[in-house]
Amino acid sequence: MKGRVLAAGSVTARALVLREPLSLWGGMDPASGELIDAHHPQRGASLSGRIVVMSAVRGSSSASSVLAEAVRAGCAPAAFLLGETDLILAVGAAVAEELYGVRLPVVVLPPTELARIHDDAVLRVDEDGSVTPV
């Protein structure tokens, strides 16, 4: 499958499919990558190094800062695959690249294709937004 690229990069990692939308501000500890939103069903999971799959986005405009800070701390997700466009994550990834030279792909996929991704599947995300199982 191939999606729309909001931030380019290439990475191979394991998928983490979020069952509910997550706001990174108040939802992820940038110092550890842990999911800390008390109301989220996957509280305690680690987002660090995972390809985070999220069908809907939610919440605070401060999430760009939280993402850039997680990249700085070396605890950020490897990539985001989203079901809808999100300016906030795209900008967080752009700033992280500018400041720390780390490229974190953010790709929007059609919801039907996103729904076919299984938790823990190993995926490769390429520069052009193509996503392939490894």
Task: Give the catalytic positions in this structure.
Answer: 60
Q: Which of 19, 41, 43, 61 binds other proteins (CB under 8 A)?
A: 61
Scanning 23-31, 45-53, 109-117, 119-127 for contacts with other proteins by CB under 8 A, the matching segment is 23-31
Tokens linked to 76: 């950020």
Helix, strand, coil tally for the chain in percent (to 5): 20, 25, 55
CB 124 within 8 A of CB 11: yes
Q: Measure CA of the first residue to CA of the last residue in the chain; give whole Å.
A: 13
Q: Is 80 in the site for other proteins (CB under 8 A)?
A: no
Q: Is 121 in the site for other proteins (CB under 8 A)?
A: no
Q: Which of 16, 18, 47, 64 binds other proteins (CB under 8 A)?
A: 64
Scanning 10-18, 79-87, 110-118, 119-127 for contacts with other proteins by CB under 8 A, the matching segment is 79-87
H or E element at residue 111: helix 111-114
Q: Is 102 in the site for other proteins (CB under 8 A)?
A: no
Helices 87-100, 63-72: inter-axial angle, 10-degree rounding = 30
Q: Which of 62, 103, 113, 124 binds other proteins (CB under 8 A)?
A: 62
